[in-house]
């Protein structure tokens, strides 16, 4: 009994210490963020001042050159000028020289301060990142210690899943790099090598067969370059659709799903139920990736005939529904290798949203996502 109380006292003290340490880390991180913002503003002001000083220095240097030329002229033809004119020429030259020296010194001080702030910003960014990582680790420890056995078990299971998820991310990144490398090597790189070889033949064809044959060869080259450019654009679009920045989420989704439908021969129905409007760049990218991942999961695993995608942008929330009529799966059985679903859950959690999965064998799968608009 005494041992139990002693152990409980030790655990309580440990929890208190961990909690206080976590709060201190949060405070360090917040202070660092405030310092980072302050230095960013100061850096911006200094950059403006440097630009102004440079402009002022250029003008002063021009005036100083004119004043020196005037002084040289007065000194050369000293007898032609009065004492007052000589004195003024000397004073003007000296005054501009002093102003120029002051401006140059001020510019040097501003540049030194700018470099100092930039180095300080790098160090503070590192401190913020380390504080956030440490705070996250301390939060995990605190939750482990303060929860009951069931919570600890769940947390351990969650940590195990996240570890597996992290390993799968690394593996997926390597696979994606290999895929991109193959696509670029087999597509644009190969085609550009052919363009280089054929471009060397144009001059020879022109000399041997005349201008008409050379022009035909150039037309073929143009077609090849155009095809290569289209392939490069497709690869870039898969990495990050540029239309997302220009047109917004709904038009980009519509275009992507139409292209995906043509590529996979899978019927895709897309409906926008709400009022179309722009969201923050980060949120639009995240929502696009969620729909992209859900549709690709349907294609890879469900073998459906039709996929229905619906999105509704409400004043404070975005709702996404992706439903397929594929083979589905048993919700009570844990799916192996469900990397796509796990990645979607992680993304939704980062957005402080909710995700629900409904599926039945030979009926299909429905993914329902709700994300708040911050």
Q: What is the pLDDT of residues 247-267, one digit of tens each?
A: 888 998 998 899 889 888 899
> Are 310 and 320 contacting, i.e. CB atoms less than 8 angstroms apart?
yes
Per-residue pLDDT of the chain (374 residues; tens, 9 = 90+): 454 566 566 666 776 776 677 777 778 878 888 888 888 888 888 888 888 888 888 888 888 888 888 778 777 777 777 778 778 878 888 888 888 888 888 888 988 888 898 888 888 888 888 777 777 776 666 666 665 444 544 555 565 665 665 556 556 555 656 655 666 666 666 767 677 677 777 777 777 777 877 777 777 777 777 777 766 666 666 666 666 777 888 998 998 899 889 888 899 999 998 888 888 888 888 899 899 889 988 988 888 999 999 999 999 999 999 999 999 888 877 655 456 677 788 888 888 899 999 998 989 999 999 999 87
DSSP one-letter string for 222-244: HHHHHHHHHHHHHHHHHH--THH
Residue with tokens 């990397």: 339
Say which residue the tokens 């095809």 belong to: 227
Find all residues with CB under 8 Å of 275, minimum gap 6, and list them: 313
pLDDT tens, 179-207? 556 666 666 667 676 776 777 777 777 77
- Tally Cβ neighbours within 10 Å of residue 134: 16
Q: Output the pLDDT for position 337.
A: 46
pLDDT in tens, 49-66: 888 888 888 888 888 888
Instruction: State the pLDDT at residue 168.
Output: 60
Residues 326-340: tens digit of each pLDDT? 998 888 776 554 566
Q: Is pTM, for the whole model, over 0.85?
A: no
Distance separating alpha carbons of residues 342 and 14, to the nearest angstrom: 33
Q: What is the DSSP letter of 109?
A: H
Residues 315 and 293: their CA atoms lie apart, in Å, by: 25
The confidence score (pLDDT) of residue 179 equals 59
2-146 has CATH 1.10.287.2610 classification = yes
Between CA 162 and CA 169 the distance in angstroms is 10
Q: What is the reported pLDDT for 319?
A: 94
- What is the Rg, in whole angstroms, of the alpha carbon atoms belonging to the chain? 34
CA angle, residues 202, 204, 206, in degrees to nearest 5: 70
CATH code matching the domain that covers 244-372, chosen among 3.40.309.10, 3.20.20.100, 3.30.460.10, 3.30.565.10: 3.30.565.10
Two tokens, residue 76: 């050369």
In the chain, what are the domain boundaries?
2-146, 165-239, 244-372
| Cα distances (angstroms) measured from residue 157 to each of 144, 152, 161 | 12, 9, 6
Picking from 256, 286, 279, the residue whose alpha carbon sits closest to that of residue 369 is 286
298 burial type by CB count under 10 A (0-12 exposed, 13-18 middle, 19+ buried): buried
């Amino acid at each position: 009994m005494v041992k139990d109380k002693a152990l409980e006292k030790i655990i309580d003290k440990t929890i208190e210490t961990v909690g206080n340490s976590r709060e201190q880390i949060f405070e360090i991180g917040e202070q660092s963020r405030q310092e980072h913002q302050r230095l960013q503003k100061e850096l911006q002001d200094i950059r403006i001042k440097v630009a102004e000083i440079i402009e002022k220095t250029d003008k002063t240097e021009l005036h100083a050159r004119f004043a020196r030329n005037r002084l040289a002229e007065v000194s050369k033809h000293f007898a032609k000028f009065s004492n007052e004119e000589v004195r003024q020429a000397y004073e003007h030259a000296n005054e501009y020289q002093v102003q120029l020296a002051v401006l140059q010194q001020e510019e040097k001080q501003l540049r030194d301060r700018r470099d100092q702030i930039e180095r300080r910003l790098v160090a503070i960014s590192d401190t913020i990142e380390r504080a956030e990582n440490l705070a996250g680790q301390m939060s995990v420890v605190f939750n482990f210690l303060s929860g009951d056995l069931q919570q600890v078990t769940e947390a351990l299971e969650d940590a195990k899943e996240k570890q597996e998820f992290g390993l799968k991310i690394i593996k997926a990144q390597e696979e994606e790099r290999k895929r991109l490398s193959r696509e670029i090597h087999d597509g644009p790189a190969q085609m550009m090598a052919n363009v280089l070889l054929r471009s060397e033949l144009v001059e020879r064809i022109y000399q041997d067969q005349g201008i008409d044959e050379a022009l035909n060869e150039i037309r073929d080259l143009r077609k090849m370059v155009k095809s290569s450019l289209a392939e490069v654009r497709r690869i870039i679009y898969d990495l990050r659709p540029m239309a997302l920045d220009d047109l917004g989420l709904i038009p980009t989704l519509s275009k992507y799903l139409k292209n995906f439908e043509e590529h996979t021969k899978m019927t895709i129905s897309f409906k926008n139920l709400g009022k179309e409007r722009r969201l923050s760049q980060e949120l639009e990218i995240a929502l696009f990736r969620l729909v992209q991942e859900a549709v690709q999961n349907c294609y890879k695993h469900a073998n459906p005939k039709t996929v229905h995608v619906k999105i509704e942008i409400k004043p404070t929330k975005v709702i996404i529904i992706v439903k397929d009529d594929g083979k589905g799966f048993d919700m009570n059985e844990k799916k192996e290798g469900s990397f796509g679903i796990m990645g979607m859950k992680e993304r939704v959690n980062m957005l402080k949203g909710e995700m629900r999965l409904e599926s039945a064998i030979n009926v299909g799968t429905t993914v329902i996502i709700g994300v708040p608009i911050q």
